[in-house]
Chain A
Amino acid sequence: MAEKGFQINRLPGFATIAVAAFVLLYLPIVTLVVYSFNASNSVAVWGGFSLHWYADAWANQAVKDATVRSLVIGVSAAFLSTVLATLAALGTTRRRAFRGQTFIYVIINQPLMVPEVVTAVALMIFFGIIKVATGYQGLGYLIAAHTAFCIPFAYLPIRARLESMDLTLETAAADLYATPWQTFRRVTLPNLAPGITAGAMLAFVISLDDVVITEFVKSGGQDTLPTYMLGQLRRAFTPEVNAISTMLLAVTVVLLTAFFLLTRKKD
């Protein structure tokens, strides 16, 4: 019937382009990682294996401060946005559709739609006014901004998890005279836990990676790791930036792998 080896869904050249795409996608990242272990001072010449860029980064007080700041903001924003997103997910799923639900979706997903640079400018103006009015210059502004744009990322996996849980367990608990709080604490929350963990991890990754909003909102001396790197890139390229990138990359990959294992559909 068919010619030998004719595969119905194969299109000529597609596999080649696809494999090339994967190579091109990973080649720059691999290069970046490899050169972070380069002994030579130049980013272009390979001078043997060395960890000294990591040592340099580690010894650099600015990098240490930026790391601590990134972690404080990331953990705070991930925690706060996950709590808010969990509440919102409980409010918008598993109940009869109500008036204004679409409005709630739009507001929650708004950070995914508005160009980051526009939000950044808006927050710079708004927080600038508050800074003048209150005199407060601390990390609170960055935490608030990060919390807001992390909400949709935390919300999506939590909502997905909730939608896959029907209300029978909760009804059963209520039939057995559990109070609403007991039902929530002992039935809903444990079942929802993987979704919440996944949401918190995504939120943390998103906060850790943010450049644009942080760059506009931060006060003097409030660099996070990404804005520190952006500042460095404007000057000379040294493999120190590769070393920092590699460390951030490692955190992202570990968290993402965990995320996929958590949200993987059980067969």
Chain B
Amino acid sequence: MSPAEENAIRQSARNGWLLSAPALIVLFLAASGPLLIVVWYSFLTANDTGGVIHKFSTDGWVGILFSYDIFEEKWVLADAHLTIFWRSVWLSLATTALTFAIGFPTAWFIATRPAKERALWLFLITIPFWTNLLIRTFAINEVIRNEGILNTALIWAGLIETPLRINYTETAVLIGMTYVYLPLMVLPLYATIERFDMRLLEAAYDLYASRWRTLRQVILPIVKPGIIAGSILVFVPSLGAYVTPRILGGGKNMMIGNFIELQFLQGRNWPLGAALSVTLLVIVMAALLVYVRVASRDRGTGHG
């Protein structure tokens, strides 16, 4: 390579950095950088009136699993915290499973429409996707609450006499999260199903495979990358959900996101809140890392 060429390449890289720099600086100041402060705060001492005292302590981290019993003067396992973690995990997994159960047939349906219609069906999925999460949560609340249209309709039809008390239960949070995150499952599933070679189905049926067997042994293995992408795209925001459990779950059915808020705004234990935030961040990053691994492996050995 001639010196002139080398120079041009170096110049090009430098321009790339210079052009990206303003965005990187803003992102560092108002998004990424402050995350480091959270790590720092998780190792400080809580101030009872809010904020922190700048003295090293691991109480924030210990407080994730244990709480200090002032009468017994020792740390005991914090059942209330474990309940919240368990609820967050199982609700997120259940949301992922439910969105898949509904989202897979939906994505398949869209992908098998005539090409002209597909854009419209997809658009119908993307509108809720871009619509304010708060509005969608509020909308589902209108449907499931005690005087909501679901109960009104069921009572009118004579199926029940007293309204189903769905609101402020874990079921309400599950219904709400399934509702708001469904598009996140449908979109990546659609993207993989759209590339699926339908001639494989002909081959399967010609070889006397039943529909069920074709679904299980031909379709699902091939669209697996889409299933993983969709599952992670639903699981990650579910685990960090804040708005939906707050509105539909009420104070009793907190998830990790609400628990973190509680430490900062009412509970006044900032180091614990910071330690919880770092934990949530690490779990989410691990899930995303799995996703990147699978996505790149799929691209590497892709079929067609």
A and B interact physically: yes
The 3 closest A-B pairs by CB, nearest first: A91-B19, A115-B240, A18-B109
Asked if A107 meets B179 with Cβ closer than 8 Å, knowing A18-B109, A125-B41, the reply is no
Asked if A100 meets B134 with Cβ closer than 8 Å, knowing A147-B30, A256-B127, the reply is no
Contact A115 B281 (CB under 8 A): yes
Contact A32 B105 (CB under 8 A): no
Contact A122 B35 (CB under 8 A): yes
Output the residue of A15, A26, A32, A96 with the most chain B CB within 10 A: A32
Contact A29 B37 (CB under 8 A): no
Of residues 103 through 121 on chain A, the ones whose CB sits less than 8 Å from some CB of chain B are: 104, 107-108, 110-111, 113-119, 121
Contact A28 B240 (CB under 8 A): no
Contacts of B105 in A (CB 8 A): 11, 13-15, 17-18, 21
Interfacial residues, chain A to chain B (CB-CB below 8 A): 8-15, 17-19, 21-22, 24-29, 31-32, 35, 42-44, 80, 84-85, 87-88, 90-92, 95-96, 98-101, 104, 107-108, 110-111, 113-119, 121-126, 129, 144-145, 147-149, 151, 155, 205, 208-209, 211-212, 216, 226, 229-230, 233, 241-242, 245, 248-249, 252-253, 256, 260
The 0/1 profile, CB within 8 Å of A marked 1, for residues 272-284 of chain B is: 0110010011001
Closest chain A residue to B36, Cβ basis: A122
Of residues 201 through 244 on chain B, the ones whose CB sits less than 8 Å from some CB of chain A are: 201-202, 205, 211, 215, 236-237, 239-240, 242-243
Contacts of B285 in A (CB 8 A): 113
**In the docked arrangement, what's the CA distance between A115 and B34, Å?**
14
In the complex, given contacts A110-B32, A226-B132, A226-B134, what are 10 additional A-B residue pairs having Cβ atoms less than 8 angstroms apart? A8-B202, A18-B105, A31-B142, A42-B147, A95-B16, A100-B17, A111-B27, A119-B34, A151-B26, A211-B133
Contacts of B260 in A (CB 8 A): 117-118, 121
Contact B35 A119 (CB under 8 A): yes
Asked if A108 meets B34 with Cβ closer than 8 Å, knowing A28-B142, A118-B281, A230-B243, the reply is no
A-B contact pairs, 16 of them (CB 8 A): A21-B103, A25-B179, A29-B128, A31-B149, A87-B20, A91-B19, A95-B16, A107-B32, A111-B27, A115-B236, A117-B277, A118-B35, A118-B38, A118-B281, A211-B243, A256-B130
Contacts of A9 in B (CB 8 A): 112, 198, 201
Contact of B284 among A115, A145, A205 (CB under 8 A): A115
Report the minimal beta-carbon distance from A254 to chain B, rounded to whole angstroms: 11
Contact of B281 among A95, A114, A216 (CB under 8 A): A114
Contacts of A14 in B (CB 8 A): 105, 108-109
Contacts of A110 in B (CB 8 A): 27, 31-32
Contact A88 B127 (CB under 8 A): no
Closest chain B residue to A141, Cβ basis: B30
Of residues 2 through 48 on chain B, the ones whose CB sits less than 8 Å from some CB of chain A are: 9, 12-13, 15-20, 22-24, 26-35, 37-38, 41
Contacts of B142 in A (CB 8 A): 28, 31-32, 35, 43, 242
Contacts of B29 in A (CB 8 A): 144, 148
The main secondary structure of chain B at its interface with chain A is: helix
Asked if A91 meets B182 with Cβ closer than 8 Å, knowing A85-B23, A121-B273, the reply is no
Report the minimal beta-carbon distance from B164 to chain A, rounded to whole angstroms: 14
Asked if A116 meets B240 with Cβ closer than 8 Å, knowing A18-B109, A21-B105, A121-B273, the reply is yes
Contact of A91 among B20, B109, B205 (CB under 8 A): B20
Contacts of A31 in B (CB 8 A): 139, 142-143, 149
**In the docked arrangement, what's the CA distance between A31 and B239, Å?**
28
Asked if A111 meets B31 with Cβ closer than 8 Å, knowing A17-B105, A91-B15, the reply is yes
Contact of A8 among B19, B20, B38, B198 (CB under 8 A): B198
Contacts of A147 in B (CB 8 A): 26, 30
**In the docked arrangement, what's the CA distance between A27 and B144, Å?**
12
Contact A28 B136 (CB under 8 A): yes
Contacts of B270 in A (CB 8 A): 125
Contacts of A118 in B (CB 8 A): 35, 38, 240, 260, 277, 280-281
Closest chain B residue to A85, Cβ basis: B23
Contact B149 A99 (CB under 8 A): no
Closest chain B residue to A253, Cβ basis: B127
Contacts of A121 in B (CB 8 A): 38, 260-261, 264, 273-274, 277
Report the minimal beta-carbon distance from A157 to chain B, rounded to whole angstroms: 13
Contacts of B280 in A (CB 8 A): 115, 117-118
Asked if A28 meets B143 with Cβ closer than 8 Å, knowing A108-B23, A121-B274, the reply is yes
Contact A43 B147 (CB under 8 A): yes
Contacts of A80 in B (CB 8 A): 26
Contact A18 B277 (CB under 8 A): no
Closest chain B residue to A13, Cβ basis: B105
